[in-house]
């Protein structure tokens, strides 16, 4: 029976992955913002889907002060963890000139420093138990810069640097890492993205609305983790840009400049 901790688990990709693990009989620790009843609803859905045990641990990842205690609670919930999936994140919809230093630091805190700290905290415990799997959600914006995403793209680029290094250093000691690289998935990330002044964007991007469903994304992600894949691309035709960036970086730059900001 797998023991799985998922952050950002109250909606979107996180909830869909939690439900897929629940249907496989996994014990789940679910973390999300303590807003409304979303996390409690996610817990009930997972129990109904077949999870034999579900523990909610609400947390706001913009506050780093409680991360060590959070990791300890997640590890203790079922006496260890086999999979830790750092999925929580926040985006933005601002030009560089409209992006305050406060916004940059908030996005980096949630999108990079929180998963980095979680990984460092659970790593010694995973090594002591003989191994474990850490997954993290980056983005195709972690492969190339994208309009209105300066801080978001920076955080997602940083995830690649840290987690690829983590795997290189500890692969031989039983630590597996999967970097999840979504394109367009039908989630609320654009709704909660930070707009000018730090306010929620409050709109669903057309590209997001036309993306693949969270359930389809979850099937791809959970299977990739089970197979120990180093990286998994999740989305539709927009993923072609990752190949274009790799083999034709100049063309990629021209195409990105033509993207209508949204």
Higher confidence at residue 191 or residue 152?
A: 152
State the pLDDT at residue 200. 81
186-228: pLDDT as tens digits: 998 888 899 988 888 888 888 788 899 999 999 999 999 999 9
> Which residue's structure tokens are 């997640």?
74
Quote the Cα angle for 185-179-41, to 5°.
50
Going from the N-terminus, what domains does the chain have, and what CATH number goes with each? Answer: 3-258 (3.40.50.720)
Whether this prediction's pTM lies above 0.75 is answered by yes
State the pLDDT at residue 198. 82
Decide if pLDDT at 260 tops 90: no
29-80: pLDDT as tens digits: 999 999 889 999 999 999 999 999 999 999 999 999 999 999 999 999 999 9
State the pLDDT at residue 262. 59
> Above pLDDT 70, what percent of the chain?
99
Higher confidence at residue 26 or residue 1?
A: 26
| pLDDT tier, 3 (very low <50, low <70, confident <90, very high otherwise) | very high
Catalytic residue numbers? 152
State the pLDDT at residue 261. 65
Decide if pLDDT at 239 tops 90: yes
State the pLDDT at residue 85. 98
Give the per-residue SS3 of the chain.
CCEEEEECCCCHHHHHHHHHHHHCCCEEEEECCCCCCHHHHHHHHHHHHCCCCEEECCCCCCCHHHHHHHHHHHHHHCCCCCEEEECCCCCECECHHHCCHHHHHHHHHHHHHHHHHHHHHHHHHHHHHCCEEEEEECCHHHCCCCCCEHHHHHHHHHHHHHHHHHHHHHHHHCEEEEEEEECCECCCHHHHCECHHHCECCCCCHHHHCCECHHHHHHHHHHHHHCCCCEEEECCHHHHHHHHHHHCHHHHHHHHHHCCCC
Taken in order 235, 201, 41, 180, the sign of the CA dihedral is positive
Relative to beta strand 27-31, strand 132-137 is unpaired
Mean pLDDT of 244-257: 94
Beta-carbon-side half-sphere exposure of residue 151 (alpha carbons within 13 Å): 28
| pLDDT tier, 88 (very low <50, low <70, confident <90, very high otherwise) | very high
């Amino acid at each position: 029976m797998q023991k799985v901790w998922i952050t950002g688990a109250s909606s979107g990709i996180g909830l869909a992955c939690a439900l897929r693990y629940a249907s496989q009989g996994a014990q789940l620790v679910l973390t999300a913002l303590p807003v409304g009843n979303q996390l409690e609803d996610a817990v009930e859905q997972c129990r109904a889907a077949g999870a034999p045990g579900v523990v909610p641990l609400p947390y706001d990842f913009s506050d780093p002060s409680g991360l060590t205690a959070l990791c300890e609670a997640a590890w203790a919930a079922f006496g260890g963890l086999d999979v830790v999936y750092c999925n929580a994140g926040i985006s933005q919809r601002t030009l560089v000139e409209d992006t305050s230093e406060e916004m940059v630091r908030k996005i980096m805190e949630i999108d990079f420093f929180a998963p980095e700290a979680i990984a460092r905290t659970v790593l010694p415990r995973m090594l002591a138990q003989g191994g474990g799997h850490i997954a993290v959600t980056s983005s195709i914006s972690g492969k190339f810069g994208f309009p209105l995403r300066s801080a978001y793209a920076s955080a997602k680029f940083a995830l690649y640097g840290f987690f690829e290094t983590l795997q290189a250093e500890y692969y031989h000691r039983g630590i597996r890492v999967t970097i999840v690289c979504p394109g367009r998935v039908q989630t609320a990330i654009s709704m909660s993205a930070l707009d000018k002044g730090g306010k929620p964007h409050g709109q669903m991007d057309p590209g997001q609305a036309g993306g693949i469903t969270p359930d389809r994304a979850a099937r791809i992600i959970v299977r990739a983790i089970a197979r120990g894949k180093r990286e998994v691309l999740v989305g539709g035709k927009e993923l072609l840009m990752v190949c274009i960036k790799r083999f034709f970086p100049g063309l990629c730059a021209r195409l990105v400049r033509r993207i209508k900001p949204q």
